[in-house]
């Protein structure tokens, strides 16, 4: 007897030889996905009882043979395709879904990479697993079980509460430039393969323009051919020229504002990575101008450096790599020349109106979480968009009711995130604050009887696992504030903690 | 070993224990585990689970104790899904529950098959004895 899931295989019968049960009625799924529909008289969202509204809305619904185009085969596009096809499979609706992705994720280096640090957060690993998307061992370059926070006043290790590797360090492509050729699928390739197994068509073609003059999206491809679709989903990230094109169509969309970040790969060899960084992500709170956050992420033979800030340039990168706290993470205290680097852009604000009739922006093209967990934002917006399209429709009003709330939630949480990162920035600037944070965290990590309030706040800020609002509210707890105040005094008056720190303190 | 998520359980180690209060469910990343039920002091293996399978969801949904022991057969690596993370996300996106419902549906279907098979065997035995 087996409980194995069969959601990879459309129409699978569970392995017991029985016929697939009758498809679930869309209304039944809609009630499951929108509990409030019970309260509002049995119909939800755009399913108005008005005949006129229903007739209009039906035109904006997927039916047998509908055509959907997804531009971008990164996590947002692939996850959208998977969620949409799975839900439609349950309702017995067959559509044609094309994913346009000219990039080949089997290539090493920039040609096959989506330019990102490649960390799948703790909460996202769990949610993907609950969705039936288990990351295979060959895709995970290293399981992360702890963070080490480095400051000029010392370093402290923060362990995951369950002593379990629940954060995945992955390659978005096929590994750094000139890395060994292998058959290991990167994270993006793994998700894209799942989408194609569910029935999505991978179209390795560049979309050069989008036109809405006929009322339906018409895509022009690099070879000059044009194709019409019922719905267009843009998941092309921040760097796509398509975003500017759509801005000019007058649909109200304005692309998100972006800032430059820095990602680089250093080859150390697996033994050196294990010895110097282990299974920990190393984060740095250093008092360097314009630096918001920096981290070293161990992955197999390589270490990935990620730097975020309001003005990341080569001078800042050099200043960071020359900092003593960074140098001690490398063999012989000397970072080797990096073998692959890029200055990708990341969202620092959200898109305005990331939807219109027959058009949705998901992932970084629309709304993303501030600084952290971009893949998690891709998951959330892709899921919300797929649910809206499959169960309600894709008119502007459908999307406003059932897609936009998920985006709005991220936007509101980002406001809290600005406060959280503002406080982090203050800690970076103030040595006495850094000493108190270090002392409080050390105490918590070395004494199992102390509730790890500071550790949990830092953990969730670094991992991006919890909403910023929740992290912020935790810092307002009276016990947190009282202990922070005590440690502020004790750390700066050099009162010993009574227990030897587990990692290092200078 | 480096590219692995989850926690490692060694041969014979209990991943969950019958009667314990549970606050998470599990996905097997790698390996095989036996589902063991104690009836009148006698342990019976009622099922076997492989990579990619989910278990322990009943304790999350019902907030009750574990109904069976799950024991590693060989080395097993499993990842946990917290009740809090799961329930909070279900509040935001109830369709996530459908994934767990699918697992439960398969399980009920498999149990139906097992019951039918055992009843058939019982009938055969009864017929043979009469």
CB atoms A270 and B81 under 8 Å:
no
B63 and B104 share one domain? no
Question: So what's the ipTM on this one?
Answer: 0.88
CB atoms A279 and B55 under 8 Å:
no
Q: Which helix (H) or strand (E) holds A120?
A: strand A119-120
Instruction: Look at chain A and count its residues.
Output: 506
Contact residues, chain A, for B98 at CB < 8 Å: 29, 32, 90
Contact residues, chain A, for B25 at CB < 8 Å: 130
| Span A283-295, average pLDDT | 89
Q: Does domain A50-103+197-257+348-415 have CATH number 3.50.50.60?
A: yes
**In chain A, residues 36-65 whose CB comes closer than 8 Å to chain B:** none
| Span B38-59, average pLDDT | 88
Higher pLDDT, A42 or A303: A303
The pLDDT-based confidence of A498 (bands split at 50, 70, 90) is low
- Kindly list the residues of chain B whose beta carbon comes within 8 Å of any beta carbon in chain A: 2-7, 25, 27, 29-30, 47-55, 79-82, 85-86, 89, 92-100, 102-103, 105-107, 109-111, 113-114
B117 and B60 share one domain? no
Contact A373, A121 (CB under 8 A): yes
CATH number at B28 reads 2.60.120.10
Q: What is the pLDDT of residue A382?
A: 97
- Percent pLDDT > 70 in chain A is 84
A398 vs A402: CA distance, rounded Å? 6
B55 and B17 share one domain? yes
Q: What is the pLDDT of residue A29?
A: 47
Q: Which domain covers residue B60, as residue numbers?
A: 1-82
- Residue B88 counted as domain residue: no
For A214-327, list the strands marked E by DSSP: 218-221, 226-228, 231-234, 258-260, 262-267, 280-284, 291-299, 302-309
- Residue B64 counted as domain residue: yes
Higher pLDDT, A385 or A445: A385
CB atoms A406 and B92 under 8 Å:
yes
Q: Residue A130: which of B53, B96, B114 has the nearest Cβ?
A: B96
A94 vs A66: CA distance, rounded Å? 8
Instruction: Look at chain B and count its residues.
Output: 130
Q: What is the pLDDT of residue B128?
A: 63
Which one is the CATH code of A136-175+259-346: 2.60.40, 3.30.9, 3.40.50, 3.30.1560? 3.30.9
DSSP track, A420-446? HHHHHHHHHH-HHHHHHHHHHHHHHHH
B18 vs B38: CA distance, rounded Å? 8
DSSP annotation of A358 reads T
Nearest-neighbour CA in chain A from B87: distance (Å) = 11
B39 vs B45: CA distance, rounded Å? 11
Mean pLDDT taken over chain A:
83
> Is A162 an interface residue toward B (CB < 8 Å)?
yes
| Span A227-247, average pLDDT | 89
**Residue A158 has which token pair?**
């923060």
| Span A427-451, average pLDDT | 89
In this predicted structure, the answer to whether residue A353 has a pLDDT above a threshold of 50 is yes
Contact A254, A351 (CB under 8 A): yes
Q: Residue B79: which of A3, A16, A164 has the nearest Cβ?
A: A164
B68 and B122 share one domain? no
* Domain spans of chain A, in order of start: 50-103+197-257+348-415, 136-175+259-346, 417-505
Which chain A residue's Cα is nearest to B87?
Answer: A127
Q: What is the pLDDT of residue A416?
A: 92
> Is A327 an interface residue toward B (CB < 8 Å)?
no
Which chain A residue's Cα is nearest to B50?
Answer: A4
Residues 6+ apart with CB under 8 A from A253: A243, A246, A247, A351, A352, A353, A354, A356, A359, A361
Residue of B11, B6, B7 lying closest to B32 (CA atoms) = B11
B103 and B70 share one domain? no
In this predicted structure, the answer to whether residue A369 has a pLDDT above a threshold of 60 is yes
Counting the structural domains of chain B, the total is: 2
Q: Residue B3: which of A33, A35, A141 has the nearest Cβ?
A: A141
Higher pLDDT, A245 or A32: A245
The pLDDT-based confidence of A292 (bands split at 50, 70, 90) is confident
Nearest-neighbour CA in chain B from A248: distance (Å) = 33
pLDDT digit string (tens) for A303-325? 999 998 878 888 999 999 999 99
pLDDT digit string (tens) for A79-100? 999 999 999 998 899 999 999 9
Q: Hey, which residues does A167 pair with through a beta bridge?
A: A144
Residue of B98, B91, B48, B17 lying closest to A3 (CA atoms) = B48
Question: Which among B95, B100, B104, B107 is the top mutation candidate for probing chain A, defined by the most A β-carbons within 10 Å of its own β-carbon?
Answer: B95
Cα distances from A113 to residues A170, A177, A289, A451, A480, in angstroms, run: 11, 10, 29, 41, 41
HEC string for A335-349: CCCCCEEECCEEECC
Q: What is the pLDDT of residue A138?
A: 86
pLDDT digit string (tens) for A255-264? 998 888 899 9
B98 and B46 share one domain? no
- Percent pLDDT > 90 in chain B is 48
Which chain B residue's Cα is nearest to A5?
Answer: B103
| Span B50-58, average pLDDT | 89
- Cβ–Cβ pairs < 8 A, chains A and B: 140
A74 vs A440: CA distance, rounded Å? 40
pLDDT digit string (tens) for A116-162? 778 899 889 999 998 989 898 888 989 998 999 999 889 999 987 67
Output A223-230 pairs: Cβ under 8 A, ≥24 positions apart.
A227/A67, A227/A69, A227/A98, A228/A67, A229/A67, A229/A68, A229/A69, A229/A98, A229/A358, A230/A62, A230/A66, A230/A67, A230/A68, A230/A358, A230/A394
| Span B4-16, average pLDDT | 93
Cα distances from A201 to residues A72, A97, B42, in angstroms, run: 12, 6, 53
Q: Would you say the C-alpha torsion A153, A426, A447, A295 has a positive or negative sign?
A: negative
Q: Residue A129: which of B27, B102, B106 has the nearest Cβ?
A: B27
pLDDT digit string (tens) for B68-86? 999 999 999 999 998 888 8
CB atoms A3 and B5 under 8 Å:
no
> Is A32 an interface residue toward B (CB < 8 Å)?
yes
Contact B40, A127 (CB under 8 A): no
B11 and B66 share one domain? yes
B20 and B69 share one domain? yes
- Residue B101 counted as domain residue: yes
Task: Record the pTM.
Answer: 0.85
Answer yes or no: same fold for A50-103+197-257+348-415 and A136-175+259-346. no
How many Cα atoms within 13 Å fall on the side-chain side of residue B33? 31
A279 vs B8: CA distance, rounded Å? 15
B18 and B40 share one domain? yes
CB atoms A131 and B99 under 8 Å:
yes
In this predicted structure, the answer to whether residue A16 has a pLDDT above a threshold of 80 is no
């Amino acid at each position: 007897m087996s409980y194995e899931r069969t959601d990879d295989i459309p129409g699978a019968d569970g392995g017991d030889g029985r016929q697939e049960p009758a498809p679930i009625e869309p209304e039944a799924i809609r009630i499951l996905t929108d509990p409030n529909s019970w309260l509002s008289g049995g119909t939800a969202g755009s399913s108005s009882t008005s005949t006129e509204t229903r007739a209009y809305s039906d035109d904006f619904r997927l039916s047998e043979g509908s055509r959907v185009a997804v531009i971008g085969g990164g996590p947002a596009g692939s996850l959208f395709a998977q969620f949409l096809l799975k839900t439609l499979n349950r309702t017995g609706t067959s559509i044609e879904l094309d994913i346009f992705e000219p990039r080949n994720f089997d290539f090493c280096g920039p040609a096959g990479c989506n330019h990102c640090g490649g960390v799948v957060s703790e909460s996202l690993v769990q949610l993907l697993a609950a969705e039936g998307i288990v990351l295979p061992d060959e895709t995970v370059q290293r399981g992360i079980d702890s963070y080490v926070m480095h400051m000029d006043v010392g370093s402290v290790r923060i362990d995951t509460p369950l002593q379990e590797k629940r954060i995945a360090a992955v390659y978005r492509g096929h590994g750094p430039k000139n890395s060994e050729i292998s058959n290991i699928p990167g994270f993006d390739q793994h998700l894209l393969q799942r989408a194609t197994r569910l029935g999505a068509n991978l179209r390795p073609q560049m979309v050069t323009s989008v036109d809405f003059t006929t009322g339906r999206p018409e895509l022009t491809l690099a070879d000059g051919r044009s194709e019409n679709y019922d719905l267009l989903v843009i998941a092309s990230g921040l760097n796509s020229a398509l975003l500017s094109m759509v801005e000019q169509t007058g649909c109200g969309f304005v692309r998100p504002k972006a800032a430059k970040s820095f990602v680089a790969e250093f080859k150390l060899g697996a033994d050196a990575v294990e010895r110097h960084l282990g299974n920990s992500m190393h984060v740095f709170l250093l008092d360097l101008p314009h630096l918001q956050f920096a981290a070293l992420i161990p992955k197999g033979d390589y270490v990935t450096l990620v730097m975020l800030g309001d003005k990341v340039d080569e001078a800042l990168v050099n200043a960071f790599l020359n900092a003593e706290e960074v140098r001690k993470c490398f063999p012989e205290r000397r970072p080797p020349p990096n073998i692959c680097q890029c200055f990708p852009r990341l969202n620092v604000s959200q898109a305005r109106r990331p939807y219109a009739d027959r058009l949705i922006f998901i992932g970084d093209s629309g709304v993303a979480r501030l600084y952290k967990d971009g893949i998690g934002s891709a998951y959330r917006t892709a899921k919300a968009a797929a649910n809206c399209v499959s169960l309600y429709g894709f008119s502007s009003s459908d999307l406003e009711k059932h897609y936009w709330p998920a985006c709005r939630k991220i936007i509101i949480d980002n406001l809290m995130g600005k406060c959280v990162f503002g406080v982090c920035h203050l800690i970076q600037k103030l040595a006495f604050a850094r000493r108190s944070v270090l002392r409080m965290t050390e105490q918590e990590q070395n004494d199992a009887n102390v509730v790890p309030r500071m550790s949990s706040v830092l953990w969730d800020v670094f991992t991006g696992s919890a909403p910023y609002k929740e992290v912020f509210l935790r810092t307002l707890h009276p016990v947190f504030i009282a202990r922070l105040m005590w440690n502020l005094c004790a750390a700066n008056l050099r009162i010993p903690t009574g227990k030897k720190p587990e990692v290092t303190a200078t | 070993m480096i590219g692995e998520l989850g926690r490692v359980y060694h041969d014979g180690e209990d991943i969950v224990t019958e009667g314990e209060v549970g606050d998470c469910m599990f996905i097997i990343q790698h390996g095989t585990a036996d589902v063991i039920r104690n009836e009148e002091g006698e342990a019976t293996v009622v099922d076997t689970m492989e990579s990619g399978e989910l278990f322990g969801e009943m304790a999350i949904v019902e907030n009750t104790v574990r109904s069976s022991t799950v024991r590693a057969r060989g080395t097993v690596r499993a990842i946990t899904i917290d009740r809090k993370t799961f329930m909070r996300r279900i509040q935001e996106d109830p369709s996530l529950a459908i994934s767990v419902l699918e697992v439960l549906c398969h399980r009920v279907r498999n149990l139906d098959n097992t019951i039918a098979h055992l009843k058939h065997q019982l009938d055969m035995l009864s017929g043979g004895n009469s």
